[in-house]
Amino acid sequence: MKKNDLFTVTIEDMSEDGAGIGKTDGYTWFVKDGLIGDVVEAGVTKMKKNYGFARLVRIITPSPFRIAPRCPVARQCGGCQLQAMSYEEQLRFKERKIRSNLSRLGGIPEDQIPMEPIMGMEDPWRYRNKAQFPFGRDKDGEIVTGFYAGRTHSIIPQEDCLLGIEENKDILEIIKNFMKEYKIEPYDEAEHRGLVRHALIRKGFATGQLMVCLVINGKKLPRAEVLTERLLAVPGMTSISYSVNEERTNVILGREVTHLHGPGYITDRIGEVSYRISPLSFYQVNPVQTRKLYETALEFAGLEGGETVWDLYCGIGTISLFLAQKAKKVCGVEIVPQAIQDARENARLNGMENVEFFVGKAEEVLPEQYERNHMRADVIVVDPPRKGCDERCLETIVKMQPRRLVYVSCDSATLGRDVKYLREHGFELTRARGCDMFAWSVHVEVVIQMTYCGDKAKNKG
Ligand code: SAH
C-alpha cells in the first residue's frame, strides 16, 4: 500500500492521543477520527515499517459510542480530540489510560492498581474559565481569531468555543472591531510583524469577575484607553491589561504585565477558600472539577491537624490553602514569582497564618530547606506540569521519608515514570483516582496516594 490508498479496517482500540487503532494483516494503523467500535474506510497518510497513519474517509458501521460532534469545527480544531465519543465512553477511555500508564511505566500489575472510580463532570460543556485566542488574518485579509488546528499554527476561526464562556465572543468582537478601526495589525508569525498576538480571557466562576490580557509584539498598545472603555461595557469586567512578548516563541505570555484597569487580578472561590489570580499565574481551568480534585488530594493526605505538609509546584497556593485548613503548617514552593505574590496574598485574604511560600524550583528549594535548614515533612503533595518531577526533587522526597505522598498529575505517563522511581525507593501506591477536568479532550487529571513503607518494602526494578 502507498499514500492515499483506501482500505477497510475495524477500530479495536484507541491511542493515548485519541486516534483509532486497527489492524490489517498484522500491520497496525492509527486512524485519525476513528473510534473504538467503528468499521471505517480509511486513506493512508504515512507508512512506517511496523505501523502506519491514516485518515477517516467514510464510516461503514458506526461505533455504538459514536455521537454527532456539537462543534462545527471539531475535526479541524486541535482542542477536542474526542467530540465524536459519548461522554461515558470518554471516562472509560481515560480510566484505561491511567491504568495502563501506571502499569506499563509504573511497573504495577494492572489488577493490583488501587483505582477508585473516575470523577466525571455533570455538565461537560462551557466548563473552561480560561482561553487564549491567537489573532491573524485569513485568506481574504480579514482579521480572525479562534484556535490552532491540531499540530499547526493555522488559525481555525471559532469565537464561541463550546467549552468556553459565552462572554468570549463579545470580548473578541470588541477587540477585533477596535483593531480594524485603529488599524492595529494582528501578529504575523512567519514575518514576526504585527502587534496583537493573543487575547487571554479568564473568568472567576464563583464571582463573575472577568480578566482580559492582550499579548502584544511591541512595547505599547496604541489607544489603549479606547479599548479599555469598550471592554468595561462587558458585565463583570474587572481586570484589563497587556503583556509584551516580542520574542519568536511558542510561549504565549510575556514576562511582565502592564495594567490598564482594575487591581491587576481577579478573585475566585473554590469551596470555602478565596483566591486572587493574576494574568501570569497558573490557575486550574475547570473550577467545578478542581474542587473535587482538591478535596480528593486533601482526603488522600489524611491530615489529622498536627502535620507539617509541603505543597510543591503550588501555583497561587490553591492546594496549600486547602491543606492548611487541616494541617499544622504548610510550605508551598513555586517557580513563578507573581504566583507566589498571589499565594501570599491569598493566605492573608483567607486569614491563614500557618502557611509559608518559597519562590524557586522545587528541585532546588526542597533539597536546600531539607539539608541546610533541616525542614521535615509528614506529608508531601506535588502537582507538577506535564513533564513530571525532576529526579532531584524525588531524591529529596525519598530522603525526607514523609508518611504519605500525594501526587496530582496532568500526565499519567510521567506519573507512571515517577511512581516507578518512588516504588523502588520505599513507597507503595495505596490509592489512585482519575478526575476529568478536560471533557472532549484526551487529557485527564489523576491523584494518587503513596505510603512510605521503608526499606523492607522496596520494590527492586
Ligand atoms: N498546584 C497548583 C499549580 C499546578 S500547575 C494548582 O493546582 O493550581 C504546576 C505549577 O508548577 C505551575 O504553577 C508552574 O509555574 C509550576 N512549576 C513549573 N516548574 C516548576 C519547578 N521546577 N519548580 C516549582 N514550580 C514549578
CB 82 within 8 A of CB 441: yes
For residue 410, indicate whether it is catalytic. Answer: yes
Does 159 show up as a binding residue in the annotation?
no
Alpha helices in 139-275 (DSSP H): 167-181, 224-231
Nearest CA to ligand 1 atom 13: 315
Number of Cβ within 10 Å of residue 20's Cβ equals: 26
CB 192 within 8 A of CB 228: no
**Does the Cβ of 333 fall within 6 Å of ligand 1?**
yes
Phi, psi of 348 (to 5 degrees): -65, -45
- Expressed in angstroms and rounded, the spacing between residue 363 Cα and the centre of ligand 1 is 12
Nearest CA to ligand 1 atom 11: 313
Nearest residue to 79 via CA among 24, 25, 130, 143: 130
pLDDT per residue, tens digit, the chain (461 aa), is: 999 999 999 999 999 889 999 999 999 999 999 999 999 999 999 999 999 999 999 999 999 999 999 999 998 888 899 999 999 999 999 999 999 999 999 999 999 999 999 999 999 999 999 999 999 999 899 999 999 987 788 899 999 999 999 999 999 999 999 999 999 999 999 999 999 999 999 999 999 999 999 999 999 999 999 999 999 999 999 999 999 999 999 999 999 999 999 999 999 999 889 999 999 999 999 999 999 999 999 999 999 999 999 999 999 999 999 999 999 999 999 999 999 999 999 999 999 999 999 999 999 999 999 999 999 999 999 999 999 999 999 999 999 999 999 999 999 999 999 999 999 999 999 999 999 999 999 999 999 999 999 865 555 54
CB 134 within 8 A of CB 197: yes
Joined together, the cell numbers standing for residue 139 give 485568506
- Expressed in angstroms and rounded, the spacing between residue 284 Cα and the centre of ligand 1 is 11
Does 334 show up as a binding residue in the annotation?
yes
- Expressed in angstroms and rounded, the spacing between residue 86 Cα and the centre of ligand 1 is 32
Does 313 show up as a binding residue in the annotation?
yes
Nearest CA to ligand 1 atom 8: 283
**Does the Cβ of 282 fall within 6 Å of ligand 1?**
yes
User: Among 280, 282, 294, which is best to mutate for testing ligand 1, by the most ligand atoms less than 8 A from CB?
Assistant: 282
Q: Which residues contact 277 (CB under 8 A, 6 or more apart)?
A: 202, 204, 211, 265, 266, 267, 268, 283, 316, 342
Beta strands in 125-284 (DSSP E): 130-137, 143-148, 155-157, 196-203, 210-216, 237-244, 258-261, 266-270, 273-277
CB 424 within 8 A of CB 434: no
CB 334 within 8 A of CB 311: no
